[in-house]
Amino acid sequence: MAYAPVTITTNAQLLRTVTDDEFALDPAEEAVIAGFVAKPVGTTAVGKELVLRKIAAHTASKYAGAGGLPASLNTNANAEVAVTLPIAYAYAMGELDEASLTRLVQEGGYRNGYRKQMALAVNGQIDIDLFALAASLSHSETGASVTETMYASALKQLAKYAKNKFKIGETDVRLFVHPDVLDDVLVMPLAKEYQIRGSAGSAVSGQLATSFGIKIEESGNVLQSAGHTYCPLVLKDAFAIGYNRTPSALPEQQDGLHTRMIYRAEYACGEWFDSSGVVLDIS
């Protein structure tokens, strides 16, 4: 018996192509250090530049008189220090064509996803600027990989130079590492001990911390340059940031048949206390 089967060639007009209703997002780095660093009082609007004021440490003198009331005392005349930080403007902008929007059908979902990706880009740029400061820190540990010895030595330096600002096991300290060296950190006994024994609720909280309570976070925005990876171990006031505009979206702008979307931030960031940071320079 002769027959004619239905095939994808002969009966192509019967076949259906389905496009999902979801707009999935490509991976992007999220901000991790911008939310941690210091935001000094009065920096919610910083104008054309941000100036951070500091009072220098004093050194005590001893009175060496023979007796009686102290006289002829020496005064401290330390030069005070101010750090001036320039303004930066980070933005992400896109234009959506009218015809494209109408033919998307799921226009709302696309707009929402587009805004999320722009927000990640702008917040990520702020992190990039902050992580770039690590290379300029005066105190460092160098090596081919992150080791427990290097880590302990970095903590020793932090305790030495941050002085009263650092109390081991009490002060909020962060180590930010690039994913390229995350495997070194994960096998450090100091980190594994916390995961096995636990000390802050469940040992499987998913947060990596060492036996000294130092929180470790990873980010692909950690500075890599000329074969070096600069992983900062910092207190909050090692770096500082102030804003004229916190990361946010402008109202959508219509330009003929195009809809313009802009997400932006205006800020100033920089090193505040060099003594509050140590960089692990991995090369």
Question: Given this model, what pLDDT does residue 115 score?
Answer: 94
Task: Tell me the residue length of the chain.
Answer: 283
Contact 259, 146 (CB under 8 A): no
Residues of the chain above pLDDT 90, percent? 58
In the predicted model, what is the mean pLDDT of residues 178-197?
75
> What pLDDT band is residue 208 in, cutting at 50, 70 and 90?
low
For residue 205, pLDDT beyond 90? no
Report in angstroms the alpha-carbon separations of 114 from 21, 178, 223, 281: 15, 26, 27, 36
Name beta bridge partners: 82: 53
Lowest-confidence pick of 12-26, 188-202, 216-230: 188-202
Highest mean pLDDT among 29-33, 101-105, 195-199: 29-33
Question: Given this model, what pLDDT does residue 193 score?
Answer: 57
Contact 218, 186 (CB under 8 A): no
Question: Given this model, what pLDDT does residue 196 score?
Answer: 46
pLDDT in tens, 60-92: 888 877 776 777 787 777 777 888 999 999 999
Helices 189-197 and 148-162: crossing angle in degrees, nearest 10, is 90
Question: Given this model, what pLDDT does residue 206 score?
Answer: 54
pLDDT in tens, 87-117: 999 999 999 888 888 888 888 888 899 999 9
Closest CA to 216 of 202, 228, 201, 233: 233
pLDDT in tens, 140-169: 999 999 998 999 999 999 999 999 999 988
CA distance 69 to 81: 34
For residue 38, pLDDT beyond 50? yes
Contact 265, 89 (CB under 8 A): yes
Question: Given this model, what pLDDT does residue 142 score?
Answer: 97
Amino acid letter at 23? F
CA distance 244 to 72: 49
CA distance 269 to 117: 23
Name beta bridge partners: 217: 176
> What pLDDT band is residue 209 in, cutting at 50, 70 and 90?
low
Question: Given this model, what pLDDT does residue 116 score?
Answer: 95
Which tokens go with 13? 């007009």
| DSSP output for the chain | -------TTTTGGG------S-------PPP-STTTSB--TT-SS-TTEEEEEE-----------SSSS--SPPPP-PPPEEEEEE-EEEEEEEEEEHHHHHHHS-HHHHHHHHHHHHHHHHHHHHHHHHHHGGGG-S-EEEESS--HHHHHHHHHHHHHHHGGG--TTTS--EEEE-GGGHHHHHT-HHHHHHHHH-SSS-TTSS--B-TT--EEEE-TTS-EETTEEEEEEE-GGGEEEEEEEEEEEPPPEEETTEEEEEEEEEEEEEES-GGGEEEEEE-
> Which residue's entry shows tokens 């090692």?
238
pLDDT in tens, 266-281: 999 999 999 999 999 9
Kindly report the average pLDDT of the chain as a whole number.
88
Cα dihedral value 185, 186, 191, 196, nearest 10: 180
